[in-house]
Amino acid sequence: MHYLITGHTGFKGSWLSLQLSLLGHKVSGISLDPEENSLFKQAKLSEIFENDVRVDIRDSKKLEHAVNRANPDVLIHLAAQPLVRESYRIPVETFEINVIGTLNVLEATRNLENLKAALIITTDKVYKNLNHLRGYLESDELGGHDPYSASKAAADLATQSWRASFSTFPISIARAGNVIGGGDWAKDRLIPDLVNSYSNRLTPVVRNPDSIRPWQHVLDCLNGYLLLIERMISDGISGQWNFGPSLESKFRVLDVVSEFSRHWGVEPGGGFELDAAKGPYEASYLLLDSSKARKELNWSDRLDFQTAIKITAEWYKESRSVGAREITEQQIENFNSL
């Protein structure tokens, strides 16, 4: 099977590309240039691709040419402006990338001869967050307080409209939780901030320590995507799908700090400073109800919270000696054997 991934040079795209390659699939990618310290560069992933193309998804003509040239069997759309705080700084650009870029990707699939399925990745933050003490269901209202969340909700709705109006092949939308794992170096994300602080013998500065999020290892998330695609191809299913940890997994930002610091080997609890700056609004409570995927796809998370944190810490520590490519492949193979 030939997979085309947009955003393949990013954190999740790099893990997905290597996972697919190890499973014996052909992989092509369309993305912006990778960051200098990215997993894509650290693991030297450019060599695994049939086509490794640099295109801004806002450029519809160049994008269409690149998609047609790859002519994949499956398309997975990950390319996005993925950061909440960044969306406050560049709100218009965030909407352009996340909404118009998604529509450009869908438009570029119109004339593909081999395409069997397309999966559009949005986020858990597409839901209108009312701080419910339950997990959000696929049928719940979409919304978005910040520009990132609103732009991804708009992309989600645009995809649903596109599917209803133009689709000749299965199109699904995946909404995942707060994904963690080795090789994420994005700014304003908790794990990279902890790694940078501990590596430089600094006390990490933490925002909203009591906020609850659906923490999930990247491999559990990607496993859900691939199971869904298998069913899309075999049974023609589509729709919206949540992929998050069990509803019993209610862990705070503070719990992540404590668990990660334990595996890193710093003082118990890790120690942190509360960010005194009043940042932009962020929801305090967010969980996903993934019972649909568990029931209809027979999907479940293989890694509990403690294990996910443990192997994430191990990745950052061991990649320095073992190598980023080697530790990533090892963790993928270990996961696949579970």
Contact at 8 Å (CB) between 27 and 50? yes
Show the DSSP H helices in the chain as ranges: 11-22, 39-42, 60-70, 84-89, 91-95, 101-108, 147-166, 190-199, 218-235, 253-264, 291-296, 305-318, 324-336
Q: So what's the pLDDT on residue 273?
A: 79
Which of 74-88, 122-136, 266-280 tops mean pLDDT?
Answer: 74-88
184-198 per-position pLDDT tens digit? 998 889 999 999 999
Q: What is the C-alpha separation between 91 and 146, in angstroms, rounded?
A: 9
Q: So what's the pLDDT on residue 266?
A: 84
Interstrand relation of 251-252 and 212-213 (parallel, antiparallel or unpaired):
antiparallel
74-83 per-position pLDDT tens digit? 999 999 999 9
| Structure tokens, 294 | 């568990």
Rg of the Cα atoms in the chain: 19
Q: What is the C-alpha separation between 66 and 60, in angstroms, rounded?
A: 10
Say if residue 280's pLDDT is above 80. no
| 60 class by beta-carbon count within 10 Å (0-12 exposed, 13-18 middle, 19+ buried) | middle
Q: So what's the pLDDT on residue 240?
A: 98
107-118 per-position pLDDT tens digit? 999 989 999 999
**For the residues 252-270, what does the mean pLDDT come to?**
85
Q: Which residue has the higher pLDDT, 246 or 331?
A: 331
Average pLDDT, the chain: 94
Q: So what's the pLDDT on residue 133?
A: 81
**For the residues 149-176, what does the mean pLDDT come to?**
97
Quick one: pLDDT band at residue 269, thresholds 50, 70, 90?
low
CATH superfamily of 2-336: NAD(P)-binding Rossmann-like Domain (3.40.50.720)
| 61 class by beta-carbon count within 10 Å (0-12 exposed, 13-18 middle, 19+ buried) | exposed
Say if residue 136's pLDDT is above 80. yes
Q: So what's the pLDDT on residue 117?
A: 98
**For the residues 9-13, what does the mean pLDDT come to?**
97
Q: What is the C-alpha separation between 156 and 175, in angstroms, rounded?
A: 9
**How many other CB atoms are found less than 10 A from the CB of residue 188?**
12
Contact at 8 Å (CB) between 289 and 135? yes
Contact at 8 Å (CB) between 183 and 19? no
Contact at 8 Å (CB) between 175 and 119? no
Q: So what's the pLDDT on residue 205?
A: 87
Quick one: pLDDT band at residue 317, thresholds 50, 70, 90?
very high
Percent of the chain surpassing pLDDT 90: 83
Quick one: pLDDT band at residue 132, thresholds 50, 70, 90?
confident
Q: So what's the pLDDT on residue 4?
A: 98
Contact at 8 Å (CB) between 293 and 137? no
**For the residues 237-246, what does the mean pLDDT come to?**
96
Q: So what's the pLDDT on residue 65?
A: 97
Q: What is the C-alpha separation between 54 and 40, in angstroms, rounded?
A: 13
Percent of the chain surpassing pLDDT 70: 98
216-232 per-position pLDDT tens digit? 999 999 999 999 999 99
87-109 per-position pLDDT tens digit? 999 999 999 999 999 999 999 99
Cα dihedral: 221, 222, 225, 227 (round 10):
-100
pTM value > 0.75: yes
